[in-house]
Copies of this chain bind each other. A is one copy, B any other.
Amino acid sequence: MDTEEILKKQKLKVTPQRKAIIQVLQNSSSVLSAQEIFAAVIDVMPNVNLSTVYRNIDVLLKKGVLCRITSEDDKILYELRREKGHHHHIICKKCGASIPIDYCPMEDIEKELDKKGFTPTEHRFEIYGYCEKCSKKLKK
């Protein structure tokens, strides 16, 4: 989908900065930090400001255009949301690629939570490791 469409669909104003941010994420094969997005946007739009990037990441997140992911070492990363429903990610520690997975552990644990009287509202499940390509490279 085209960047402009994405924005219009969310009833967001179409600005060159927003388009650039989405484009960067579309072209990226890995999950990116706010700073990395900024660095990539600045290449094509030399006077964007970092705060603009932060502000737009926020609105795009709220609208569900982006996913927020926590890296293995607690850094916050973003990617374009490609899947519709609820899902989790596997993230490659080498190339930063993220692979969506359907599996969600919550079904398997609801009973146990219920037993403890705990009412779950959110959860986090992320797997880190090496993707197929990087696994092979490391073995060599």
Taking Cβ atoms with an 8 Å cutoff, the residues of A that contact B are: 70, 72, 74, 76, 90, 92-93, 99, 101, 103, 105-106, 108-109, 112-113, 116-132, 135
User: Do residues B120 and A123 form an inter-chain contact, with CB atoms below 8 A?
Assistant: no
User: Do residues B129 and A126 form an inter-chain contact, with CB atoms below 8 A?
Assistant: no
When C-beta atoms are compared, the residue in chain B nearest to A120 turns out to be B129
What CA separation (Å) do A12 and B12 show in the bound complex?
55
Q: How far is the CB of A115 from chain B (nearest CB, A)?
A: 10
Pick the contact of A70: B74, B99, B108, B118 (CB < 8 A): B74
User: Do residues B116 and A90 form an inter-chain contact, with CB atoms below 8 A?
Assistant: yes
Q: A117 contacts which chain B residues (CB < 8 A)?
A: 131-132, 135
